[in-house]
């Protein structure tokens, strides 16, 4: 019996046990990871796991049970336990399966390359990344190189007739390099991840990048407290996009705990700014043809020409707001669905990063952020930061042990993206400039 048939059988057992509706999700994965440090293999791990979750509805009361064993002999007991739990929990007027579900034959998003590298291949990749980093003059040590592979099967079956299956491969390589010594030591990293192994960035390039980044951070200063323009490197600029998306999460909006809860249709960003969520990008790191409830996905411009256009909604938050699901439900096996973004990005602007900084007499170029974030209720923004000063439009001395602060709505209204967008992570953005932030330093 296939895993798809097993989940259909589990849903049938839940209905037989008294559930008015039910869905079952299975996540089965195989992974292999390698870590190399100082020329030695320190980590070699292989894991295989199967986790399932059963959600049942008795009236408008819901309960979830999960298990790490996919054993048909235990399905009756699992279903009976879930139904018994649902009968004693309070009803939720917004609970229930999704009303609109995807085609049982969704489009092919090309999410599995069919390759499974062996341990020797991963060891060689991790070794290349670390050795390249250590060979760069100025590097004194390393925290190692890593390489990994995984393949994950996700199955969702509902009592409303939906049955879907996806298979996804993932490959990654990373390196962490150390420069300097003692209290003056600096650390930095680089990494690459891809669905297709052939699209993974070269391990040598990753190691060299990690080393050069660490060396560039040596002997940082702590600048004086002032107000200035801040330019976010593409490694950290996606955090601004994530802060915005957190504020348009349907669950937060429905609870009234979002700063943007009354801003639908209003201008949040400057004209020309577009933020897109595209779950159907072929080979995307977070691509999916259907969401965690079986609702079909599609691309949305969450902000278009600077205007807020939609919330991220699953079925429950959509019912609370009197709207329809946008196909953004995400779930694991042990909890209910909740809204979440997929392949999220800010569209590039027209200026190069150099042109974006050209008129800044004194500013800050941020390459690392720590702690805190943007408060989704008040918009208060405060992050520990490190990077480089900008002087007369050029990168200058490294800086560390500083904090940058501002107000979220003002930051959104005054940000400018460069033209260097690359799709490297699940959330991506180009270099971004934000004027008028406070730098707290010496």
Q: Does 105 score more than 70 pLDDT?
A: no
Considering the entire predicted model, what is its pTM? 0.94
pLDDT (average), residues 364-381: 93
With residues binned 3-state (H G I as helix, E B as strand, rest as coil), the percentages for the chain, rounded to 5, are 25, 40, 40
What would the pLDDT profile of 168-218 be if each residue is shown by its tens digit?
999 999 999 999 988 889 999 999 999 999 999 999 999 999 999 999 999
CA Rg, the chain, in Å? 24
**Contact between residue 257 and residue 265 where contact means Cβ atoms under 8 Å apart:** no
Per-residue DSSP letter, 359: T
**What pLDDT score does 441 carry?**
83
Q: What are the phi and psi torsion angles at 363 (to 5°)? A: -150, -170
Mean pLDDT over residues 291-302, rounded? 96
Q: How far apart are CA 103 and CA 290, in angstroms?
A: 9
pLDDT at 265 over 90: yes
Average pLDDT, the chain: 95
- Residue closest to 369 by CA, chosen among 422, 409, 405, 413: 405
Give the three-state DSSP class for 394: strand
Q: Is 127 helix (H, G, I), strand (E, B) or coil?
A: helix
Q: Say whether pLDDT at 442 is over 90.
A: no
- Residue 97: what pLDDT? 96
pLDDT of 331 reads: 94
Closest CA to 108 of 167, 153, 157, 196: 167
Q: What is the mean pLDDT of residues 222-226?
A: 94
Bridge partners of 154, per DSSP, are 27, 166
pLDDT of residue 152: 97
Say whether pLDDT at 102 is over 90: no
User: Does 130 have pLDDT greater than 70?
Assistant: yes
DSSP 59: T
Percentage of the chain surpassing pLDDT 70?
Answer: 100
User: For residue 189, which of 384, 428, 394, 367 has the smallest C-alpha distance?
Assistant: 367
Distance between CA atoms of residues 199 and 172, nearest Å: 10
End-to-end Cα separation, the chain, in angstroms: 66
Region for residue 315 given its phi and psi (left: phi exceeds 0; alpha: psi -120 to 50; beta: otherwise): alpha
Say yes or no to pLDDT of 103 above 80.
no
**Residue 104's pLDDT band (boundaries 50, 70, 90)?**
low
- 315 within 8 A of 339, measured Cβ to Cβ: no
């Amino acid at each position: 019996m296939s895993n798809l048939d097993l989940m259909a059988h589990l849903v049938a057992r839940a209905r037989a046990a008294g559930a008015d509706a039910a869905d079952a999700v299975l996540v089965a994965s195989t992974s292999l990871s390698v870590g190399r440090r100082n020329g030695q293999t320190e980590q070699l791990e292989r894991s295989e796991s199967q986790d399932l979750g059963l959600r049942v509805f008795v009236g408008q009361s819901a309960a979830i049970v999960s298990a790490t064993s996919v054993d048909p002999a235990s399905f009756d007991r699992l279903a009976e336990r879930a139904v018994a739990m649902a009968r004693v929990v309070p009803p939720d007027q917004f609970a229930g399966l999704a009303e609109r579900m995807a085609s049982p034959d969704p489009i092919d998003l090309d999410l599995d390359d069919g390759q499974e590298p062996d341990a020797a291949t991963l060891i060689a990749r991790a070794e290349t990344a670390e050795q390249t980093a250590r060979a760069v003059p100025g590097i004194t040590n390393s925290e190692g190189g890593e390489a990994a592979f995984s393949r994950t099967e996700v199955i969702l079956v509902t009592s409303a007739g939906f049955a879907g299956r996806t298979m996804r491969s993932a490959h990654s390589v990373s390196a962490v390099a150390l420069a300097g010594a003692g209290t003056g030591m600096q650390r930095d990293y680089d990494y690459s991840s891809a669905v297709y192994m052939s699209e993974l960035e070269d391990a040598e390039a990753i190691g060299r990048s990690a080393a050069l980044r660490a060396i560039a951070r040596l002997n940082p200063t702590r600048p004086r407290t002032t107000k200035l323009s801040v330019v976010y490197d593409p490694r950290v600029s996606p955090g601004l996009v994530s802060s915005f998306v957190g504020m348009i999460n349907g669950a937060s909006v429905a609870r009234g705990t979002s700063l943007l809860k009354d801003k639908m249709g209003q201008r949040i960003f400057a004209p020309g700014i577009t933020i897109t969520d595209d779950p159907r990008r072929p080979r995307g790191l977070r691509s999916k043809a259907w969401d965690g409830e079986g609702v079909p996905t599609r691309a949305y411009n969450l902000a278009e020409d600077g205007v807020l256009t939609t919330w991220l909604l699953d079925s429950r938050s959509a019912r609370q707001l009197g709207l329809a699901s946008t196909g953004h439900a995400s779930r694991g096996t042990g909890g209910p669905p909740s809204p979440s973004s997929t392949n999220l990005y800010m569209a590039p602007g027209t200026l190069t990063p150099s042109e974006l900084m050209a008129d800044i007499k004194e500013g800050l170029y941020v390459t690392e952020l720590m702690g805190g974030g943007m408060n989704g209720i008040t918009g208060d923004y405060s992050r520990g930061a490190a990077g480089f000063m900008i002087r007369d439009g050029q990168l200058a001395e490294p800086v560390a042990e500083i904090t940058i602060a501002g107000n979220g709505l003002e930051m959104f209204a005054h940000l400018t993206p460069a033209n260097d967008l690359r799709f490297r992570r699940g959330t991506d953005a180009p270099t971004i400039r934000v004027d008028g932030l406070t730098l707290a330093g010496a």
